[in-house]
Amino acid sequence: MKKSDFYYDLPEELIAQTPIEPRDHSRLLYLDKSTGKTGHYHFYDLPRFLRPGDCLILNDTRVLPARIFGVKETTGAVVEFVLLRQRGKDEWEALAGPGKKARPGSRFSFGDGLMTAEVLEVLEGGNRLIRFIYEGVFYDLLDRIGQMPLPPYITEKLQDKERYQTVYSRELGSAAAPTAGLHFTPQLLEDIQAQGIAIGYVTLHVGLGTFRPVKEEKIENHKMHTEQYYMPAETADLINRTKAAGGRVICVGTTSCRTVESAAPADGGPMEACSGDTDIFIYPGYTFKCMDGLITNFHLPESTLIMLVSAFAGYDAVMAAYKEAVEEKYRFFSFGDAMLIV
């Protein structure tokens, strides 16, 4: 398939700039995978579509306030860094802009001297490897000086940093939020569990490659970024029990989907605890090994994420649902509304 197959028209005013309050009052477009039929609800209606014996798989990653501004020691020039992943003790891979001011050997001060950093090398693709020097606890300092790395299509300032975190986030390491999970409240999670639906957690640390545009017209030629994932033993066991009893494994977000599908054995055997890096690229033609249902936000035109959703629910059904969502004035992207596909 071609990249242009996944294009749709989206009026700019439908790109959500701020999150809905309360979280679970966002809208929910229901898509029946077998018939292509749709329905319009709110996220708090989710329990009506779940059955006792199902399980929800949530990504418990927590977003780093990874956007920091450094002052170059020799010239006073301001350079923006976005931390992507830890490479070693106090060493991080980061985006830098403008890059020409962040050459190897250059040093930067952050937060009026709270910490400093040296650029060690330029990595493949132009990212920088930088080493931090500081006193105290790195993540405490980062919380003081860092900002949330919101996607470029969100132009309004986020008033509360916790609104770009899920209520169940706990494992620090992401450069972007697993946004399908932003709709859950503690009460909604309690209600779901009280209904006999189990909840399991995986971790996938979301990279900014999530927002990297597909440049190849033939989508098979697109090279995916890699992300770290963890499938704990208790979640693997939950998935195995759910499948054995005839329940459905419903992933909350494309990040949970990529984790589950990366961890699932190719031979169809039972899920086991595992971890590693994944660059799985799911597009139409992919055979799902584990996932039976998906909760997801509305994704950018021509993105790998709309391709993943189309692989699961069918290209025609997904493109028709997106057209309907635009007509019904749903809110799109990270702070937007959600879809449930089962």
Euclidean distance between CA atoms 273 and 255, whole angstroms: 17
Cis ω for the linkage preceding 98 (within 30 of 0): yes
Name which of 326, 316, 329 is nearest 6 in CA terms. 316
Which helix (H) or strand (E) segment holds residue 257: the answer is helix 254-263
* Cα 207 from chain centroid (whole Å): 8
Considering only CA atoms, give the Rg of the chain: 20
Q: Cα-Cα-Cα-Cα dihedral of 250, 320, 48, 28, to 10°?
A: 90
CA dist 104 and 332 (Å) reads 39
What are the percentages of helix, strand and coil residues in the chain, rounded to 5? 30, 30, 40
Residues 6+ apart with CB under 8 A from 88: none
Q: Say if residue 149 is preceded by a cis peptide, omega within 30 of 0.
A: no
Name the nearest CA neighbour of 146 among 63, 76, 211.
63
The rounded distance, in Å, linking the Cα atoms of 100 and 194 is 55
Q: What is the pTM of this model?
A: 0.94
**Residue-level pLDDT, tens digit, the chain, 342 residues:** 999 999 999 999 999 999 999 999 999 999 999 999 999 999 999 999 999 999 999 999 999 999 999 999 999 999 999 998 899 899 999 999 999 999 999 999 999 999 999 999 999 889 999 999 999 999 999 999 999 999 989 999 898 999 999 999 999 999 999 999 999 999 999 999 999 999 999 999 998 777 678 999 999 999 998 899 999 999 999 999 999 999 999 999 999 999 999 999 999 899 999 999 999 999 999 999 999 999 999 999 999 999 999 999 999 999 999 999 999 999 999 999 999 999
Q: Helix or strand or coil: residue 298?
A: coil
